[in-house]
Each structure stands twice: as C-alpha cells, then as structure tokens.
Structure 1
C-alpha cells in the first residue's frame, strides 16, 4: 500500500509541475470513491456530459476470458458517475481480473470491486507468455501499481522473468546510481511481450499535435485511429498516420544526436553519452549541458 501511495503522489506531482501536450487541466482518481457501477449513457447525457468524448470506438473487440488478467482504466466508471469532463481526467491502468465479457464492455474485478469497463480501455495480458533476456514486456509495477513497460534482465524462468521497469526513473549523483524501483520477478501470466515495429497496446509512440512530437503509449487501435495514454495519464486520440512507433531495439552510440523526452514531448537537443543495452537506459546531455538518464522509450534517433 505504501508504494501505491508513492506512485499516486508521483503522478499528482507531475500534474502540478508540468503542462500536458494539449495544455489541458488533468484531474486524478479518487481512491475513496465507490466504483462498483457505471451509469449508462442515457443518464450521463442527461447530466450534460459526454460519456465517451474520444473519436475512437469504445466497443472494440478484445479477446479475453473469465479469470484472465488485464490492465484497465478502473476509475472510468467513477468519473462517469461524477459527471466529470472525461477528457480532462487522469487514467491509471491497474491490474484486474476478468469476471465476464459483454458486447462492448468487460466486467473486471479490481481489488475486490467489480466494474464494467469499455473494451477500448482494457488491455489483455496472455496467461501463457514467455520472455527472454532483452525482451520488452508490458506489465504493471508488481510491488507498486500502474501500467509499466519493462526490460527482461534475467529469463532463467521464461514464464516468470526478472525485469527492470522502464517507466520508473534512474538518477545519478556524484557517481552513485539510484533506481526508483529495484528489478523484480514477474508472476506468470502477468505480462505481454512487445515486438519492435508492431502496432499493439503498450507500444511507445510519438504523435503529432500542434506541430509538436507528443509522447504517448497505445491503449487501443484500429486501422485508422489510435487511442493514446499521454502525459500524466490523459487520454488522446490521433490518426494512425500522425503517429510513429518508438524503436524497442535501438543502436545508440556515444556522440549520436537524438530526440529525448522533455515533460510531454520529444525534443531534438540531446547527445548520447552512454548506452546500457541490458537495462535499456541511455545517458544523454542536452544543449544546456545537463546530463540525465532516460529509458530507451524516452529517446529516439529520428522522428
């Protein structure tokens, strides 16, 4: 529980200290609220709010079965009950277990509460996945909470690999390295291997908005549209043609000029100092001579 609170504080801190790619005000989840039921669309519309403000089909097909582990935006039903401006809320994707699948939504159990979630806000994790060293997997911070991408550092047990979380920061001061979280062994059936170049939920992308290269990760997609988790958990939509996948298998070397993450966008003012391929980390210096450590998801050679 303590680490869950730390993670929530980390998200809220990001909201206070930086602006989103769209400069939208973003509100976080209320963990004390009752999220056992979702108001239907008619009631939501009667309350003068749009129950689905994104230009993306919410009833996309997801291949899930009873008991399967998924990642889901579990607070969507509560936001709906509040009559909130849904496109201005924070969506953290938590682990849940499938109870039953409906036509356009799926009932999941999240820490003992059953909720109906639109299929577009659900990411299935296969029960039989295996991984090898160097693979990038989609999972959650298993001793904390929230969706994570991670690199496999030990695959002695391919069904339960040891990983380093790429979405949690590394820092270095006076030559001493500090990781936000230790490497962790995943439980079987709690991850999905991501493949370089494949358009799939969990993949990192850069998407065009107002001439900027905004940072996001895919939640769901069709042939034409992408539903995106962006800065501080905001949800966006973009045309697939306006999105570019970030490579999971980069080949950085010292001196390379690269794009790097700056708050919510990729900026082309970084130079590579060092690349730790095993841990998926890149040491970069910006044009102000400030050095930082970024994950391979936060650095791109060309955009």
Structure 2
C-alpha cells in the first residue's frame, strides 16, 4: 500500500511538472494567490516572489466589478465550481493572454480555497480571428469585402451619435469591361489591385474602404460639423484613381463614376445604399470618363 506521504509528494510533482497552468487561491471576493505552478507563472510572465499573497485580479484584464467576474464568483459561492470560462489574463509584458479557466472550491479542515486549471486559448482565438478575417477580406485586392462593408455600415448606423455626419461614396469603374475582355482577366485583376492600392494611398486613412463587387468599390466615413466632405475632395480622389496605369508595358486608361451621399439625418443602410447607387448611375450616364455626383440628405 502506497503511503499518503508518497501520494502527496507525487501530486506535488504533478502540480510542478504539469504543462497546464494551475493555481490555488483564497476563497474571497478579492482572492489571493496561495500557490501557482511554473506553467502558470510562465503564462503571466511573473515569478512566485512577485505574486505570492497578492490579489489575483491584478493579472486579469477585467475590473473587480466586471459582470463576468461577479458571475464566476456567484457560481463558486452557490455550486462550488465553474468550467471553461473565457478569461483574459495580462502577461507582465502587457500582452493579453486569452484563457479558458475551470475552478473548483474546496474546504479541507475548515479552510476554503479555490483550485484553478487554466488553458491557454491563444491559438484557438488566433484561428477564429483568421477565419473571420478571411470571411471579411476580398482575396484579390486585400480590401474588406461586401460582408465586411455590410457589417461596418450597420454597426456605424446603430452606434453613431445624433447629428454626426455620415458619407458613403459608391464607385464603379468605367471601361473596365473593355480592359478585361481585350487584355485578359489577369490584366483586369492587376488593374483592380492598382485601384485598391490607389484607394489606400489617396483616401483618408479614417475612411473604411471595400470592394463590394467586380469593379465596384465603396468609401464610408463619419465626420464632425466642421469637416464635411465636399465634391472637390471626391473629384480629386476619383481622378487619382483613374490616372493612366502602366501594366505589363501597356498604358491603360480607365474611368470612374462616383455617387456620394452625405447626411446627418437618421437613415437606414438600404436607403443610404440606394441613394449612393442612384447617384453613381446618374454620374455614369453623363458619359464622362470621370464623373462625381454628390447629394446632401437633409441640412448640411
């Protein structure tokens, strides 16, 4: 029969050698460190001397009264455990470490304490971010795609304060089909990438830009009272987009029709898009190589 002392020493070795982070803390509202294994210390980038007896919340991102933290405390107080809760820890370097924490409350000889098992969730979170980025990115140009634009527009309209202006520019290239048909899709793709690069170079960095269709792009921005966009700004941008391109030794000319809606009024996404789309087609109907049509909705 193996003695309890031998089992105890084996469990201490398990605690010390475990690649999974483990810590033991006091069972209080402001819990304090009792023990932490090397894997946990590595996770937060601290030594045991630095954290011994210190409040655990100092190594978390959320505040003491964060609702998620209070919910976890309530679970420990009522059922004695919680499992796989998402908690962001803060590494000593300032880096955020996403984790999954499972905790069980124990009472031995009248002493209450909490045992926490902490799993580093960084890889899963990075994978989720990469999936989301792929879902929201146009592969050809690297710009946000239609799904990303729809999400940004709806979020912006929901969250913007009353009176803040919004500007949507809808851009359709003139002559792109002729380039695509006459020079091939590879050349057409290079043209689209150059247009995307020019948008990044010439548009305001605060503007959200996206490719939402074959040769269709959008710019979305908000503005304060003193900084409303004007048609001259949009004309300069459109002309910069349409400067002659050198592609594989060929000089290619392309144009653009731009419809711009500006408003401080309450408006939904569909109405804003319909307005910009109609203005873009009106600009295209002029037959000019570069045409910009801008309209205010409501008072400027």
TM-score normalised over the length of structure 1? 0.20
More helix by share: 2
More strand by share: 1
TM-score normalised over the length of structure 2? 0.20
Which protein shows a greater Rg? Answer: 2
